[in-house]
Structure 1
Amino acid sequence: MSNTHTPLAPAFFSEVGAPSITQIEAAAARIREHAVVTPLLESAVINELTGGRILFKAEVLQVAGSFKFRGACNRLMQLSPEQKQAGVVAFSSGNHALATSAVAKLLGVKATIIMPADAPKTKVEGARDNGATVILYDRHKDDREAIGAEISRQSGAVTVPPYDDLYIMTGQATVGLEIVEALADVDVVADVVLAACSGGGLVGGVASAVRAKSPATAVYAVEPAEFDELARSLASGKPERNSPDAKSICDALQVVTPGKLTFPVNQRLLAGSLSVTDDEVRDAMRVAFKHLKLAVEPGGAVGLAAVLAGKLDVKDKTVVVILSGGNVDGDFFAKVLGG
């Protein structure tokens, strides 16, 4: 695949707020003690269905069930002793909650997690099982950041945001670093990498690593159809907002507007953003289970959904799809598989 992407000077990345490759490699070394180097998987059937070579970065097999563990681990491992004593506060629809609480448990740090009342039960219960204090809020009425700021003011707890934080984005970027390194080991260069997008920390981090190490590779975000704020923002050149009435089964990918830190990074590094419908996501979840034997949550399946639905020409191309999370409620997953 040919594209117009040009190599970027190493110094560029810090200029737009993106992590440098040196920072990303340091994060990979830092979190190696706790995080899993997840495999790249391949299915001959999916290759035949799509006409391309589709490789899957299985972050569903990461600790706490998603890529979010990487960012949380990178952040919490750099807390000072005083900050560890004060604890952390995080706000999340689920995967960041699970990741932050899991890392906090590993490091012996007290965690308070602010979650929407309609978050999947498996994610709420998982955070509590990790020993975190969970505070539920109404995502349509309450301001989760204000709740977190007040807790931090009263307790001195360090706020660990889900995406708008350089430590977090740098941790997520290790997904991209692992992809490029694994492909280099077998002398393969990916034409395209697809990553799910909510606030933009994963795709921004992945793009930072991939474009630094493999400048010929294009990186695309993938969003739910009604939460396509990044696609619209890239088109308009300024941050756009989603409708308050927007709905999607992708609970992990529901934000109001692109992140202040992540948007300039994604604006500069991405080839674009694709969107998929809930029905396309359900189909992708079924395909992943049937042919990869993986339980992928809706938000984690959007990249595969885009490929299966023909949102991108993948014929005769090597494409890496990040399956970003697998924390799906059993009852919901059973309904999806039942079709």
Structure 2
Amino acid sequence: MAELVPLEEIRAAAHRIAGVVVRTPLVPFPGAVAPSDATPPSPGRPDLLVKPESLQPTGAFKLRGAYNAIRVLTEDPVTRPGGVVAHSSGNHGFAVAYAAAMLGVKAAIVVPHNAPTVKTDAIAGAGAELVWVEPNLAARVAATGQIARTRGYAEIPPFDHRLVIAGQGTIGLEIAEDLAARPPRAVLVPVGGGGLVSGIAVAITALLPETKVIGVEPELAADARDSLHSGTRVAWQAADTARTMADALRVEQVGELTFPHIRELVSDIVTVTEDEMLAAVRQLALRARLVAEPGGAVAVAASLSRSAAELGLAAADGAPLVAVLSGGNIDPELLTGVLGAEATSYNR
């Protein structure tokens, strides 16, 4: 069995990324009951705090893991690679390109043909080379491996890598530090390949052992849920995961390294519908003034549309619920359409 990433590696990552990555706040979601309010929260609707990783320089949490990994790989001038290569639907690729530019190394990013233009434009704008492939994991992995072998580039996997998991785990470290005096009942985390939820789960279970970690993914790409419930890694077909608008979460199978973390440390994985994701994007923008892409909003969607019982939690007792908003790189046209759909209902 793969060895889990320890808390010490997450603490080391936090030291490396300090000053580069934003230490994001915990933002109260409007309508949640404040701890000092005498009025108890309504049944199953706890105090909600949003961790907005959309505020990162690259618009998503991925910079944490990417910078941590590339920083370690480039520290030794003797073993410093000629460049780095990664495969990504967008957010990880932008993070790798951004971190590589900061650290002075070349970057090649393998992207599927159906990757959003808003993300591929950002990757190119950061100075990285775009390498286009078919929209499936096998094609992405094959192209990444070929570039690594022929050019001597170091691979920066999007999730299945210890340094990447440790970098993402700094989010959990920050949550635990900020809520040490008032531990949340649960932290809800988007799940794609599992790097984010794995790192956060390590930090939260070590520092806030009474707090549950719950993964959230689209019901049209629920391979992680199926994997956790069956006890073994389950793969979905690329044609099936492509149905969800949450392009950041169209991963066909969780990683070999991330799955043991999920199996041992994550309480459950729940799913949300496409409409629930869009409703969360809308409410985040109009009520919390936060921009989210569909995949980035899944944890907020679950916290707004699922009761405590549906999340496997006890009735609200004043302890907060934390939802990680993992990214805000949404297509402008989609955001315009989402906001226009029911904007008048929030402006009365």
Aligned-partner SS, 2:58:
helix
The CA distance in 2 between the partners of 1:248 and 1:320, in whole Å, is: 24
The one-letter code matched in structure 2 to 1:30 is: R
Deviation at 1:26, TM superposition (A): 1.0
Deviation at 1:150, TM superposition (A): 0.6
Q: Which runs of 4+ in 1 moved over 6 A?
A: none
The one-letter code matched in structure 2 to 1:138 is: E
* Corresponding residue of 1:191: 185
The CA distance in 1 between the partners of 2:15 and 2:337, in whole Å, is: 40
Q: Cα deviations across residues 301-329 of structure 1 (Å, max 9, x unaligned)?
A: 00011111114257344111000001111
* Corresponding residue of 1:3: none
* Corresponding residue of 1:103: 99
Contiguous gaps of at least 5 residues in structure 1: 1-14
The CA distance in 2 between the partners of 1:122 and 1:244, in whole Å, is: 22
Aligned-partner SS, 1:111:
strand
* Corresponding residue of 1:53: 47
Contact 1:196/1:299 (8 A) holds in 2: yes
* Corresponding residue of 2:15: 29
The CA distance in 2 between the partners of 1:278 and 1:148, in whole Å, is: 31
* Corresponding residue of 2:209: 215
| More deviation, 81-90/242-251 | 81-90
* Corresponding residue of 1:234: 228
Contact 1:18/1:205 (8 A) holds in 2: no
1:17 lines up with 2:3 in the alignment: yes
The one-letter code matched in structure 1 to 2:56 is: Q
The CA distance in 1 between the partners of 2:175 and 2:137, in whole Å, is: 39
Q: Cα deviations across residues 153-193 of structure 1 (Å, max 9, x unaligned)?
A: 11000000000000000000000000000112xx1111100
Taking structure 1 as the reference length, the TM-score comes to 0.92
* Corresponding residue of 1:298: 294
**Residue 275 of structure 1, aligned match among 254, 262, 271:** 271
Deviation at 1:245, TM superposition (A): 2.6
Contact 2:215/2:266 (8 A) holds in 1: yes
* Corresponding residue of 2:84: 88
Aligned-partner SS, 2:238:
coil
Aligned-partner SS, 2:204:
helix
1:321 lines up with 2:316 in the alignment: no
Contact 1:87/1:109 (8 A) holds in 2: yes
The one-letter code matched in structure 2 to 1:63 is: P
Aligned-partner SS, 2:72:
coil
* Corresponding residue of 1:153: 149
Aligned residues: 323
Contact 1:24/1:174 (8 A) holds in 2: yes
1:63 lines up with 2:57 in the alignment: yes
* Corresponding residue of 1:330: 332
The one-letter code matched in structure 2 to 1:198 is: G
Change (3 A) 1:141 1:107: closer
Taking structure 2 as the reference length, the TM-score comes to 0.89
Aligned-partner SS, 1:245:
helix
Contact 2:225/2:269 (8 A) holds in 1: yes
* Corresponding residue of 1:131: 127
| More deviation, 276-285/306-315 | 306-315
The CA distance in 1 between the partners of 2:137 and 2:172, in whole Å, is: 36
Contact 1:104/1:111 (8 A) holds in 2: yes
Q: Cα deviations across residues 248-288 of structure 1 (Å, max 9, x unaligned)?
A: 01000011111000001110000010100110000000110
The CA distance in 2 between the partners of 1:222 and 1:109, in whole Å, is: 34
The CA distance in 1 between the partners of 2:279 and 2:137, in whole Å, is: 32
**Residue 120 of structure 1, aligned match among 113, 116, 128:** 116
The one-letter code matched in structure 1 to 2:155 is: T
